[in-house]
Homo-oligomer: A and B are copies of this chain.
Amino acid sequence: MALKSPKEFVDSLRDGRVVFYRGERVKDVTEHPVTRRAIDHVAADYRIAEEPEHRDLMTYVDEQGQRHSRYFKVPRNADDLLRRREMIEASTRAGHGVVLLIKEIGTDFLFAMRAVATYMATRGKPECLARLERYHASCQERDVAMAVAQTDVKGDRSLGPTEQAHPDYYVRVVSRTEDGIVVRGAKAHTTGSILANEIAVLPTRALSEADRDYAVAFAVPPNAKGLRMILSPFSEAAPSEFHHPIGARHKIVDTLTIFDDVFVPWERVFMDGEWQYAGAIANTFVQFHRFTAAAYKLPWIDLMVGAAMLMADANGITRANHVREKLARLINYRETVLGLTKMSAIQHRMLDGGIAVPDPVLSNAAKFHFAENYHVMVRNVQDIAGGLLVTGPGEEDLANPETGPDIEKYLGGKKGVPTRDRLRLMNLIRDMMASEIGGYHEILSIHAEGSLETQKLTMVREFDAKPLLEFTRRCAHLGE
């Protein structure tokens, strides 16, 4: 197959998976209006891969002449990473700023697991690498949508897996048989699980020897027996395209994913008990994934900058000094995040197995710059837009002949900008930055792909201080 059509993708999701939404079992995720909206959103990945103008970016031809989704291509150099960044940006742009994340994160896992398994192979554990390579090839061949479940529910965050009130706060192996392992536990906020073909699972942190049973990485299909997904109802938008130009059509889905003694055959087990490598796989995955994050944020930032500029114009305040100051901050924000992301690809490091990973200091700097300043940038856009964002009339008031003309008359802005366009800009900004979806994106900015603290820790840990310390010692005449 190698490349699925959007229809094939949608069809592939009717497989009996167990999904709950607002207290009810969702019979068929392709039919329920909420899940269907999310599916249509991510199907854009398959759609644009077929479009002539995106085809060369979204796909690649392997040495055998077979065309595949470019997501599955193992990055070997800066150009691979730059193209990957561009591809993620393009697909997110197809989602009007909302990431699709059905291949980005899954392949982040595949690359990281491959690098760690290669390393494990050099330490006398060759079987994981072999399985991972077969799994990778199969995923590519089937052109699957993938979710990754990493974050354990964790219970008391100050305690490790074995110190918790019950032992299942972190996903663990409860038994092993000749055929495979049985896992139990739950993972929080698994994005895209309900519309994936594969769910990959990996540890969320470094582990000690006592945590051996928690050092487990594997993949299961979403209809695996014992797997239950509880879909979060938050960030739902009303279906008004006027009020929710983004949210009415684009949607990220997250689940609490429960592994109720799920059996996983050995062929799909990539780590089982090798606690020494739990930290490595957790961190390596994150290195790839923060780059993905920095890449997919761009279209959303572009909408923030663009909406601020158009709104300033509609309000007639483009020349106000404080507005120019805010626009400068927004532009600077965009360019810094984008510039550092690209630079992290260009200054990549090479992992075991000849896999290129974006420079972790720079990719974390990019993600950190995005995350730490997001709320302030939201404030800047809201500031430019004005209070009408949340005190304005509804779509139905515009349609009502008793009130519509008042609104048309009184809510106009700068001459030449139609009132309706001014309201559409308000709606875009509110939808993105002052609504359920707005709240979702604020949380996403600081919690997705690791918190602010983890990014700072990574920068300190990965920074190569040696040349700089040597230079300082010399300039300070230390030891003289």
Binding site for B on A (CB under 8 A): 20-25, 93, 96-97, 151, 153, 155-159, 165-166, 168-169, 185-186, 188-189, 228, 230, 232-235, 241, 245-246, 254-256, 258, 260, 299, 302-303, 305-307, 309-310, 315-317, 319-322, 324-325, 327-329, 331-332, 335-336, 339-340, 342-344, 346-347, 361-362, 365, 368-369, 374-376, 378-379, 382-383, 386-397, 399-400, 402-403, 406-407, 409-415, 418, 421, 424-425, 427-428, 430, 433-436, 438-440, 442-444, 446-448, 451-453, 456-457, 459-460, 463, 465, 468-469, 471-473, 475-480
Contact = CB atoms under 8 A, between A and B. Distances in A.
A159 to B, nearest CB: 7
A440 to B, nearest CB: 5
A391 B439 contact: no
A328 B472 contact: no
Nearest to A299: B471
14 contacts: A22-B397, A23-B395, A153-B410, A156-B316, A228-B403, A255-B391, A302-B472, A303-B472, A306-B468, A331-B361, A379-B446, A387-B444, A424-B478, A428-B472
A55 to B, nearest CB: 20
Contact of A93 (B471, B476, B478): B471
Given A400-B24, A475-B245, A365 B394 contact: no
A375 B379 contact: yes
Contacts of A315: 156-157
B321 A321 contact: yes
A332 to B, nearest CB: 5
Given A442-B434, A469-B309, A391 B188 contact: yes
A295 B456 CA distance: 24
A188 B387 contact: yes
A235 to B, nearest CB: 6
Given A23-B397, A303-B472, A415 B156 contact: yes
Contacts of A158: 316-317, 319-320, 414
A397 B477 contact: no
Contacts of A453: 322
Contacts of A403: 20, 23, 228, 230
A346 B386 CA distance: 33
Contacts of A188: 387-388, 391
A220 B459 CA distance: 48
A416 B260 CA distance: 25
Residue picked from A153, A299, A332, A428, most chain B C-beta under 10 Å: A332
Contact of A435 (B185, B361, B421, B436): B436
Contacts of A157: 315-317, 320, 413
Given A328-B460, A336-B365, A425-B476, 8 more contacts: A169-B412, A258-B406, A303-B471, A306-B471, A328-B457, A375-B379, A379-B442, A424-B476
B443 A439 contact: no
Contacts of A241: 477
Contacts of A335: 340, 361-362, 365, 459, 463
B256 A310 contact: no
